[in-house]
Structure formats: structure tokens, C-alpha cells
Amino acid sequence: MGLPHAPGITAANVTDRQGVVEMMRQNLMNLSEVRKFIADGSYSGEPFAQAVKDMCGAEVEVVKRNEQHGFAVLPKRWVVERSFGWLDKARRLWKNCERKLHTSLRMVVLAFIAVLIRKF
């Protein structure tokens, strides 16, 4: 459905790959049933895939954009893009005005709760 299993927010000096590994370390209980991570091209590479496999036993599937200059719906990637579209409706997330990372994380969680309430 595109809903997050274990959302995480990091400081700007932490790379995305490092942030994902740290997020997984903190949320292993929530990720026990996950068998595959779908990621974009910035997560490609064997070291990252091996770190994910070692940590929770899941494989990483990288969905890269094709070299086409026009719009094309990529298989499975649209699910993630739709989730980001849902977050765009949360006005509080338009501009990051929170002082603490955990407050920003709670705002993201509340935005997804609002999405779930609207869906059901």
C-alpha cells in the first residue's frame, strides 16, 4: 500500500544509506515480516544490499528511472511516489519548522495516520 513500516528522520549530515541502516537497527521488530525493500537508484550497490540482508534477511530491489526524457510510470516505484504525494497534503510538513528530529518524525507519523483515517 505504500505505508511506512518504520519511518525515520535524520540530520542533514547523515547519508540516506546510513540513515536506512540506523532506522532498521532501531526498528527490527517492525521489519520482521518484510522480505523485500524497493528503493531508488541511490541505494544501489552490493555493500548496502548486503547490510540489509545481514540485518533483517530482506533483499533490496532497485527501481531505476529509465533514460527516457518523458513521463513513464515505473513498476512499483509509483507506490512510493504516491506515499510522498499523500504527505504533501499535510500542511505542517511543507516547511520543516520543528526544532527536534523526534518532533518531525511524529508529524510524519500523524500525517500517515490521517491518510489511513481517510482511506477507511
In a domain, 41, yes or no: yes
Give the model confidence (pLDDT) of 44-57 as tens digits. Answer: 889 999 999 998 88
- Which of 104, 80, 88, 115 shows the shortest CA–CA distance to 9? 104
Rounded to the nearest 10 degrees, the angle between the axes of helix 16-26 and helix 46-56 is 10
Classify 108 as helix, strand or coil: helix
Give the model confidence (pLDDT) of 58-103 as tens digits. Answer: 999 887 766 556 666 666 777 777 777 777 777 767 666 767 777 8
Rounded Cα distance between 35 and 40, Å, is 17
Instruction: Give the model's confidence band at 34: pLDDT under 50 very low, under 70 low, under 90 confident, else very high.
Output: confident
Rounded Cα distance between 57 and 50, Å, is 9
In a domain, 10, yes or no: no
In a domain, 97, yes or no: yes
In a domain, 7, yes or no: no
Secondary structure letter of residue 14 according to DSSP: S
Domain residue limits at 51: 16-119
DSSP assignment string, 22-34: HHHHHTTTTTTT-
Q: Provide the number of structural domains found in the chain.
A: 1
